[in-house]
C-alpha cells in the first residue's frame, strides 16, 4: 500500500493503466521545523508544498552525494594518485560525451509532453524508452570504435572506457525519472539512486582497503548505475505504474524527435564544453594533468546540483504559469534568476580565497596545484546556474534550435581557447577557457538575438543582485 501522503490514482486509459498523482499531499515532515509565520504562509498552498517537498528530497540526495560522495571520491583520488585518477577522469569524460548522444535530448521534452498531454503519457514514455535504448546501443558502439583512435596504444584507457561505457546501454531507465519529475515526485528517484550509491560507496571503501586495481573501480561505477536503474523500475511498478502498459508509435517518435533533435545537438555541445577540457588535457599533456584538474573540478562542480534541483522542481509550475499569464511567467523566471545568481556568488567568493587551503585539506599536497585552477573554475557556477534556468525557458518557448546556437558558440570558444591556452598554461588555461565559454554560452550570446535580449537583461539584473537588494530594503 502507498501511504495517503503521496497516494497515487490508477485510471484506465485506452484499456491501459495510467498513473496520476493526487494534487493535495499531506504536510511534509520538514514543515514543522519552520517558524510559525512562514509555516502559516505555505502550509495551505498544496502546489507550493509539492514543489518545496520535491526540492527537499532532491537536496537531501545531492547533499548526501556532496558529503559522502566527495569523501569517497577524495579517498579514491588519494588512493589512485594523480595519474590513475586522471586516467579514470579522462574515461568518465569520454563516456559523458557519448552519454549526451544516447539521451537524445529527451529529458525536458518528455517532461513537457507528459505535463501538457497527460492523456498520452503512456505512449510518450514507451516511444521515449525505445528511442533511448537504440540511442544507447549506437552511442556505445561509437565509443568502442573511437576510443582506440584517441588512445591507440593505451589499453588501460580502452578497458576503463569500455566498462564505464556500459552505462550507455541502460539509459532507458532515465525515462521513468522523467515521469517522476513531471509529477514532482523525485523522492522515489532519490531513494533508488541513494540506495545504489550508499551500497557502492561501501564497496569502494572495501576496494581501497584491499588494494584493488583501477578496473575494479570502473566496474563499481557501472554496477552502481545498473542497481539504480533496476530500483527505479521496481519503484515505478510498486507505486502502480506498469512498464508493460507503455506504448510505442511511429507518430509519437517523430513528434519527440522533431522537438528534441536541437536538444541532441545542444546536449552534445554542452558536454563538449563541460568535458573537452579534461579530454584535451589528456591528449595534449598527460593523465597527471587531468588528475590535478579533475580534483579542482570535483570541488567546483559539486555545487552544480543546486540549479538542477531547483529548476527541475519549479519547471512544471513555470509551464502552468505560462498558460495563464505571460507577466507572471516572466516574473517567476526573474525570481529564479535572482535566487540562482545569489547562491552562485555566495558560494564562489569564499572558495576563491580559500582554494589552496581547500584543495590541500581535501586531496592532499599531491594535488596542491589544483588550488589555482579551483579559484578560477568556481566562477563558472554563476553562468552554469543561469544557463540551467534559461535552458528551461528555451524549452518552454519551444526554441530548442535557438538554444543550440548559444551552446554551439560556447563549445567553439572553449575548444579554441583550450588549444591556445593548455599548451602554455596547462590546467589554469583550461579553467579560464571553461569560464569564458560558459559566460558566452549562458549569458553574453543572449544579447545578439532579439528573442533572448530580454533574458540577457534579466540575467544582468540577477548578476548585479539589484532586485535582491531592492527587496531587502523594502522589507
Closest CA to 342 of 474, 471, 464: 464
Ordered alpha helix ranges (H), 364-399: 370-377, 380-396
Burial of 178 (0-12, 13-18, 19+ CB in 10 A): buried
pLDDT for the residue 423: 93
Percent of the chain with pLDDT over 90: 22
Task: Kindly indicate the confidence band of residue 371, based on its pLDDT and cuts at 50, 70 and 90.
Answer: very high
pLDDT surpassing 60 at residue 136: yes
Q: How many CB atoms lie within 10 A of CB 455?
A: 22
Mean pLDDT over each residue of the chain, to the nearest integer: 79
Distance CA 370, CA 373 (A): 5
pLDDT for the residue 21: 43
pLDDT surpassing 90 at residue 220: yes
Global pTM? Answer: 0.67
Task: Kindly indicate the confidence band of residue 59, based on its pLDDT and cuts at 50, 70 and 90.
Answer: low
**Which residues sit opposite 20 in a β-bridge?**
9
Task: Produce one character per residue of 140-162: b if its CB has 16 or more CB atoms within 10 Å, e if not.
Answer: bebbeeebeeebeebebbbebbb
pLDDT for the residue 48: 61
Average pLDDT for residues 277-300, to the nearest whole number? Answer: 89
Amino acid at each position: 500500500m502507498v501511504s495517503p501522503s503521496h497516494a497515487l490514482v490508477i485510471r484506465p486509459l485506452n484499456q491501459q493503466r495510467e498513473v496520476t498523482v493526487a494534487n493535495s499531499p499531506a504536510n511534509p515532515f520538514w514543515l514543522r521545523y519552520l517558524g510559525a509565520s512562514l509555516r502559516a504562509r505555505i502550509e495551505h498552498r498544496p502546489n507550493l508544498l509539492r514543489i518545496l517537498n520535491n526540492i527537499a528530497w532532491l537536496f537531501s540526495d545531492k547533499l548526501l552525494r556532496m558529503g559522502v560522495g566527495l569523501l569517497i571520491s577524495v579517498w579514491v583520488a588519494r588512493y589512485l594518485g594523480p595519474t590513475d585518477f586522471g586516467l579514470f577522469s579522462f574515461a568518465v569524460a569520454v563516456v559523458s560525451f557519448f552519454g549526451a548522444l544516447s539521451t537524445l535530448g529527451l529529458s525536458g521534452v518528455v517532461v513537457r509532453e507528459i505535463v501538457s498531454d497527460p492523456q498520452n503519457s503512456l505512449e510518450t514514455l514507451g516511444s521515449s524508452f525505445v528511442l533511448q535504448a537504440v540511442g544507447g546501443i549506437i552511442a556505445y558502439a561509437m565509443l568502442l570504435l573511437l576510443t582506440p583512435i584517441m588512445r591507440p596504444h593505451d589499453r588501460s584507457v580502452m578497458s576503463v572506457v569500455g566498462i564505464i561505457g556500459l552505462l550507455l546501454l541502460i539509459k532507458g531507465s532515465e525515462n521513468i525519472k522523467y515521469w517522476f519529475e513531471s509529477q514532482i515526485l523525485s523522492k522515489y528517484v532519490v531513494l533508488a539512486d541513494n540506495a545504489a550509491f550508499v551500497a557502492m560507496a561501501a564497496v569502494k571503501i572495501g576496494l581501497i582497503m584491499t588494494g584493488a586495481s583501477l578496473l575494479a573501480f570502473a566496474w563499481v561505477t557501472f554496477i552502481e548505475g545498473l542497481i539504480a536503474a533496476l530500483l527505479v523500475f521496481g519503484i515505478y511498478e510498486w507505486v502502480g505504474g506498469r512498464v508493460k502498459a507503455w506504448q510505442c508509435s511511429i507518430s509519437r517518435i517523430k513528434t519527440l524527435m522533431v522537438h528534441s533533435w536541437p536538444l541532441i545537438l545542444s546536449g552534445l555541445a554542452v558536454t563538449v564544453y563541460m568535458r573537452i577540457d579534461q579530454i584535451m588535457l589528456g591528449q595534449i599533456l598527460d593523465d597527471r594533468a587531468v588528475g590535478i584538474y579533475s580534483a579542482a573540478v570535483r570541488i567546483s562542480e559539486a555545487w552544480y546540483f543546486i540549479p538542477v534541483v531547483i529548476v527541475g522542481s519549479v519547471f512544471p509550475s513555470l509551464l502552468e504559469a505560462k498558460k495563464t499569464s505571460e507577466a507572471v511567467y516572466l516574473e517567476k523566471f526573474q525570481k529564479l534568476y535572482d535566487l540562482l545568481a545569489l547562491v552562485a556568488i555566495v558560494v564562489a567568493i569564499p572558495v576563491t580565497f580559500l582554494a589552496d587551503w581547500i584543495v590541500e585539506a581535501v586531496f592532499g599536497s599531491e594535488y596542491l596545484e589544483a588550488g589555482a585552477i579551483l579559484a578560477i573554475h568556481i566562477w563558472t557556477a554563476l553562468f552554469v546556474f543561469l544557463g540551467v534556468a534559461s535552458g528551461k525557458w528555451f524549452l518552454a518557448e519551444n526554441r530548442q534550435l535557438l538554444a543550440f546556437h548559444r551552446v554551439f558558440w560556447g563549445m567553439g570558444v572553449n575548444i579554441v581557447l583550450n588549444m591556445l591556452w593548455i599548451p602554455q598554461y596547462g590546467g589554469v588555461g583550461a579553467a579560464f577557457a571553461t569560464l569564458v565559454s560558459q559566460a558566452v554560452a549562458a549569458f553574453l550570446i543572449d544579447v545578439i538575438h532579439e528573442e533572448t535580449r530580454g533574458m540577457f537583461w534579466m540575467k544582468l539584473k540577477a548578476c548585479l543582485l539589484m532586485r535582491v537588494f531592492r527587496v531587502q530594503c523594502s522589507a
